[in-house]
Amino acid sequence: MRIISNASPLIVLCKAGLADVIPQVCTEVLVPEPVWREVVVGGKNDVAAQILLTAHWATLTTVTGANPIVEAWNLGAGETAVLNLALSSPGYRALIDDGAARACAKTLKIPFMGAGGLLVQAKRRGLITSFDEALQAVIGAGLWIAPEIVRLLKEQAGE
């Protein structure tokens, strides 16, 4: 699976100690410039910044086009860059957790998943032993997931 990642999934997966599942689930990880800047702003004292700055699996990517429909959603710079790049990159899935960005992706028929969906894939591939433990770790790292989505993800993970 090839993804274009937003900051939130990268940050929570890194802070939860699960960054290693990203390159095991994804064959390619593009990180648009605004997302990269958002993650590395914490510098050497931030675990997500340290991991991204040394990650062989993440590719810093420039976004050149701007779709007027994406721009009209008035999303953050990272979400906008991810969705603009996804529109011009068939075969990639947006990795986003933000609700408004996910709604925009649905409207534009951009395939997407969140950190929870990535963990479902990791569980299905045997990369993590407990989906629930991994999910609780990302929630502890700052990701909010609605209870009904948690139930759905657990079901998809077979737990």
CATH number at residue 61: 3.40.50.1010
Going by C-alpha positions, the residue among 16, 2, 3 that lies closest to residue 142 is: 16
Going by C-alpha positions, the residue among 94, 122, 2, 109 that lies closest to residue 135 is: 122
Enumerate the β-bridge partners of residue 5.
95
pLDDT in tens, 10-49: 999 999 999 999 999 999 999 999 999 999 987 778 999 9
Q: Which residue carries 């629930």 as its tokens?
A: 132
Instruction: Give the domain extent around 149.
Output: 2-157
What pLDDT does 65 receive?
Answer: 84
Angle in degrees, 0-180, between the axes of helices 33-40 and 47-54, rounded to the nearest 10:
130
Going by C-alpha positions, the residue among 32, 35, 26, 36 that lies closest to residue 85 is: 32
Global pTM?
A: 0.94
Rounded to an integer, what distance in angstroms lies between the CA atom of residue 111 and that of residue 90? 9
State the total domains in the chain. Answer: 1
Asked if 30 and 5 touch (Cβ cutoff 8 Å), the reply is: yes
Average pLDDT of 52-66?
Answer: 94
- What is the end-to-end Cα distance of the chain in Å, rounded? 23
Instruction: Answer yes or no: is pLDDT of 66 > 80.
Output: yes
Task: Determine the longest span between alpha carbons in the chain, in angstroms.
Answer: 43
Report DSSP state, residue 127: S
Average pLDDT of 108-115?
Answer: 96
Q: 3-class DSSP state for residue 124?
A: helix
What pLDDT does 136 receive?
Answer: 96
- Give the distance, in angstroms, between the CA of residue 41 and the centroid of all CA atoms in the same chain: 17
Average pLDDT of 125-133?
Answer: 96
